Amino acid sequence: MRSLLLISLLALSLAVQAGQTLRVGQQVLTVGDTAAHAVALLGTPAYKEPVQNKYGAYLGERWQYTRGKGQVIVVTIIAGKVADIDDRRS
């Protein structure tokens, strides 16, 4: 079971290494940064939801932030690291 989780996390990390970054003022949040760095740059998330595998095992969390003018930022945290950054504008 542990090896299945490790393989899943490795596949996820390889899939999201697209060089995703988010500029926050004069600093940058990058995939691979720590969750603590994300909180330092963006603050406390407005909403958190668990990320689970297809068997319901906990993998991490998806943090949602709202910014001005309809901007929503979703940061996925897996194993204490930023795994994905999704910057949505409505």
Domains of the chain: 2-89 (3.30.1450.10)
Quote the tokens at residue 53. 């595998």
pLDDT digits (tens, 9 = 90+) for 48-80: 999 999 999 999 999 999 988 888 999 999 999
Model pTM? 0.75
Q: Which pLDDT does position 30 carry in this prediction?
A: 96
Phi-psi region of 70 (alpha: psi -120 to 50; beta: other; left: phi over 0): left
pLDDT at 64: 96
Task: Please state, rounded to an integer, the average pLDDT across all residues of the chain.
Answer: 84
pLDDT digits (tens, 9 = 90+) for 4-35: 555 555 555 444 443 489 998 899 999 999 99
